[in-house]
Copies of this chain bind each other. A is one copy, B any other.
Amino acid sequence: MATLLKLQMNENLFLRDPQDTDLGRKIVHHSIQLIDELGLEAFTFKKLSVLIGSTEASIYRYFENKHKTLVYLITWYWTWLEYRIDFEINNIQDPFERLERAIMLITEKKGYDHSFPDVDETALQRIVINEADKTYLTKQVDDDNKYGLFKGYKTLCNRIADIVSEVNPDYPYAHSLVSTCLQAAHQQVFFANHLPSLTDHAGSVEEVYKRNFMFIHELVTKAIQK
């Protein structure tokens, strides 16, 4: 039986902490379900309120708007991913092996994590694939950044860039390389599903993920080779 855990989230992501109440947890759980099902554009607080048998007004007490809700969910995912990387490479000494494990974790298909019963990580990974870029591709990106809304992503990126620098301290593009690979990790899956001529990954879902791991692993390895 897994230990129940709670990830610490930046307070500017919400008005009332959704992890603290029944309604809050319902909002998180069902917004994942509904964004996955409808996509961000068709997702509304009205539809969500009907789904969970509550009201728009109540949901607005937790999240300022649907954009902040998305940023919250996506940030939760990055924070969770960083936690999993930390956990897994904790007692590995060899920097290169640490890097390999990290690449494995960012490129693998996610399953349900029993430590977080309200979050369907499989659905959330699909949301990351389809919607994550929309968190920052807005006119308010600088404001949002000022309030620390992207700290989860930046911390994750820096964490992995540090490992890159452990392997090769002279490689000058560690951050660019990692942010590029984090992007490719989900973008290539999207392309394999919808615009297959933009990738070389084909076959079953498992094969796509496996091939994507090999592509990114090789890309990173060669890029930072001394």
Give me the interface of A with B, judged by CB distance under 8 Å. 38-39, 41-42, 130-131, 133-134, 136-139, 141-142, 145, 150, 153-154, 157-158, 172-177, 179-180, 183-184, 187-188, 190-191, 194-195, 197-201, 212, 215, 218-219, 222-223, 225
A188-B177 contact given A139-B41, A223-B222, CB 8 Å threshold: no
CA distance A218 to B39 in the complex (A): 37
CA distance A212 to B177 in the complex (A): 11
CA distance A39 to B142 in the complex (A): 14
Contact A197 B215 (CB under 8 A): no
Contacts of A222 in B (CB 8 A): 222-223, 225
CA distance A206 to B40 in the complex (A): 35
A179-B198 contact given A39-B139, A138-B39, A138-B41, CB 8 Å threshold: yes
Contacts of A131 in B (CB 8 A): 137
In the assembled complex, the CB of A83 is this many whole angstroms from the nearest CB of chain B, namely: 20
A194's partner among B41, B130, B142, B157 (CB-CB below 8 A) is B142
Contact A139 B195 (CB under 8 A): no
Contact A134 B136 (CB under 8 A): no
A194-B38 contact given A131-B137, A134-B134, A223-B222, CB 8 Å threshold: no
Contacts of A153 in B (CB 8 A): 198
CA distance A223 to B219 in the complex (A): 6
CA distance A212 to B179 in the complex (A): 13
A215's partner among B141, B176, B198 (CB-CB below 8 A) is B176
Contact B200 A173 (CB under 8 A): yes
- 6 A-B pairs in the complex with CB atoms less than 8 angstroms apart: A38-B139, A154-B195, A176-B199, A179-B191, A219-B219, A219-B223
Contacts of A218 in B (CB 8 A): 173, 223
CA distance A150 to B190 in the complex (A): 14
Task: Add 16 more A-B contacts to A150-B195, A223-B223 (CB < 8 A).
Answer: A38-B139, A131-B137, A134-B137, A154-B198, A173-B219, A175-B198, A176-B188, A176-B191, A176-B200, A176-B201, A176-B212, A180-B183, A183-B184, A183-B187, A218-B223, A222-B222
